[in-house]
Amino acid sequence: MKIAIIGEKDAILGFKPLGIEIYSVTDSKGAEERLKSLAQNRDYATIYITENLSSQIKDLVAELSKFSNIVIIPGKGEALGLARERLKKISEKALGTDILKAEEK
């Protein structure tokens, strides 16, 4: 199984030595097309996408997450909190409680 990452080039280039396939995109249209393509390819176990791009195509990310393991990660610059919010929702669904609540205080 493969792992891919979609994001701004300067934010994802460091993942290449780890064996992760990198897909540099600069806009929402490119991110949307690449995410659809990778999600349809069942060779990918996990697809990472930077917060900035995921916020631009959030409906598509939500839809494809039903069928693919899509993980939102912080990109370069200011964190938007999307990765943390997504982890919070996943943990609440899986464990029935918010395990990140104590950290927020």
The closest alpha carbon to 73, from 5, 3, 2, 1, belongs to 5
Query: Does residue 2 have a pLDDT over 60?
Result: yes
Q: State mean pLDDT over 62-81.
A: 81
- Structurally, how many domains does the chain consist of? 1
CATH number of the domain that 41 lies in?
3.40.50.10580
**86 in a structural domain:** no
Q: Higher pLDDT residue, 73 or 33?
A: 33
Mean pLDDT over all residues of the chain? Answer: 84
pLDDT digits (tens, 9 = 90+) for 21-63: 999 999 999 999 999 999 999 899 999 999 989 989 999 999 9
**84 in a structural domain:** no
